Each structure stands twice: as structure tokens, then as C-alpha cells.
Amino acid sequence: MRDGCFTESLPDEKFLDALGDEVFFLFSNLIYRISGIRLGIQKKGLLISRLTRRLKALGIGGFYDYYQTVRDDAVEQTEMINCISTNTTKFFRENHHFVYLGDVIIPELLRMKSADKVIRIWSAGCSTGEEPYSIAMTLQAAFAKTGIKPEGWDIKILATDISTRVLGTAQSGVYECGQLPDSVQAEDIRKYFLKGDKWNEGKVKVKDAVKGMIRFSRFNLKSRIYPFKKKFDVIFCRNVMIYFDEDMKRHVLSGFHYHLSDNGYVFLGHSETMFKMDQFIPVHITVYKKRAEGHW
């Protein structure tokens, strides 16, 4: 499990002194404008610790100087978001979601989509990839269980995140063995992962058959337009909206509603709630189904 790009050790005193509340709010507003991530004043220590190393790497001595650099520089804004985003995740996190996906939703989709054989799933805020890989493994297991051959089916998982840094890890599909939860059986590890040896000792790599189901791409949920042509049958957006305010949540959920197929599903994180309940019906713990009728 990883959290942010840098350790949360206490920053140098001079950096602490250098971030007054006024400058903190300049950053917090800029970060909100870029990403929809809302940092309250209680997150000042966190912001300092996550930005300090970036300032050091750039040889910038103070936060206000860094603010002036990042304010109008789109490339540096991406670096800043890489630093400040919280990327905690793990394989089969909230395992009951994957049980529900495999036992209920996928069999339903296999029945309902038997004519066009197209399934689209979106992992929005996929972090380092454990979530979309868990979805892909669940899909493969569900096909095997029903005895339906995946050949002839067009199944794609889109996995997106605002952070280019986590997408790099996701794309590589390489993880420490210790990152696999105990719930993943040895048999499944053999089925879905290659084991590293020599300099890759202690690591596993997701097999190409699993990786090939996923397309990783940078996408900012704050974007005004969600540019997807095909509707999604399932959207996972777990532990992402906790960092957003009400306006941003409304924006994201309205985007999901529009881009979900009729009766499509949305998965949220354990501490997240769905408002606009008239548009979605709760069907499981933090799993919601779009009402077929009605408009946002």
C-alpha cells in the first residue's frame, strides 16, 4: 500500500515557516481549480510534506516562489498533482465488491449482452492499477465459472487517473509480492501473475492476458467534458470523491449518469455516499444501479 509520492516525515522548519495561511490558500484554490481536490487548512502539514521534496528538486527556496512557477505552468501542475494526490489502494480492496461483481453483475451482463457481446467497465481514479486488475481477474473468473467462452466478446476496461506517476506503475503491472492480499489464493497468483526471479525476486507481474483487457489513460474527473463514445456498463469510482466537495461530486456523478448504460452500475468507496438517489438505486453496500428512466 502506498500513500502519496513521498514519506510523511516532518518538513524542515524553514519550509514550515514559509507556508503562511495566505499562501496555503493560494495552493488550495489552485489545486481545486485543477483537480477538484479540496484541501482544508487542516491539511497544511500534509501539503508541506508532499511539496517540500519537489521544491528541493527544483532548487526553489520558498512556497510562494513555487506557487508563482506552478500557477501558469501546465507541466508543473501535473507534477504538483502527482505529489499531492493520495493513492492508497490494494488488490481486491473491499472484496465484497468483487464478489458482487463476479456473482451478480457479470452473469447478468453475460445474459443481457449475449447479442452484441460488448462489455465496458471504467475504473475512474484507478491509482497504481490494483483496482482495474482486480476487475479484470474477476471477469476472467466469472467467464470460467459460467463456462461461457470469452472469445467473440468485446470486453474492455478503461482505467484512468489524474496522476501520471501512478499510471506508470499501473501500466507496468509489477508489484511486490507483499502487496497481494492473503485472500488471493496461490492458484490465482499462478493464474494471473508471473513470478519474478533474480533482480525481480519478491515481485510479481500481471500476465498479458489480464493486462490486455485494460487501457490506462490520464483523465481528470474535473474535465468539463467526458469524451467517451460508448456507454459503460459498470463504473468503479471508489475512494476518489472523498477528496471532492459537493459541487465536484455533483459534476462527477452527473458525468457518470450520462455515460452509464441503462441499468448500469456505480461502485463507490466504503465511506462515500450517493446523493441524487432518485437517479440511482442502492443494490449492495455502496453499489448503485442507474434508473433506466429519468434524466439528470
Ligand X SMILES: C[S@@+](CC[C@H](N)C(=O)[O-])C[C@H]1O[C@@H](n2cnc3c(N)ncnc32)[C@H](O)[C@@H]1O
Q: Which residues are catalytic?
A: 50, 161
Question: Which is nearer to ligand X, 22 or 246 (by Cβ)?
Answer: 246
Considering Cα of 242, then 247, then 249, then 251, what sign does the dihedral take? negative
Q: Does the footprint of ligand X cover residue 239 (CB under 6 A)?
A: yes
What is the contact mask toward ligand X in residues 84 to 123, using x (rule: CB under 6 A)? -xxxxx---x------------------------------
Alpha carbon separation from 281 to 12, 150, 241, 257, 284 (Å, rounded) = 49, 30, 19, 12, 9
Q: How far apart are CA 253 and CA 255, in angstroms?
A: 5
CA distances from 140 to 32, 87, 124 (A): 38, 26, 20
The phi-psi region of residue 73 (left if phi > 0; otherwise alpha if psi is between -120 and 50; otherwise beta) is beta
> Per-residue x/- mask for ligand X, residues 120 to 159, rule CB under 6 A?
-----x-x---x----------------------------
Our finding on whether 210 is near ligand X (CB under 6 A) is no
What grid cell was written down for 296?
A: 439528470
* Nearest-approach distance from CB 94 to ligand X, in angstroms: 8
Q: What φ, ψ does residue 81 adopt, rounded to 5°?
A: -65, -40
Q: How far is the CB of 264 from ligand X (least distance, A)?
A: 18
What's the full length of the chain, in residues? Answer: 296
In angstroms, give the least distance from the CB of 119 to ligand X.
Answer: 20
18 vs 240, which CB is nearer to ligand X?
Answer: 240
CB of 2 to ligand X, least distance (A): 10
Q: C-beta of 59: minimal distance to ligand X in Å?
A: 26
- Tell how many helices (H) and how many strands (E) occur in the chain: 12, 10
Give the separation between CA 5 and CA 287, rounded to whole angstroms.
30
**Interaction pattern, residues 269-288, with ligand X; x per rule: CB under 6 A:** x-------------------
- Among the listed ranges 101-109, 208-216, 233-241, 270-278, the one in contact with ligand X (CB under 6 A) is 233-241
Q: Which residues bind ligand X (CB under 6 A)?
A: 35-37, 85-89, 93, 125, 127, 131, 161-163, 166, 220-222, 238-240, 243, 269
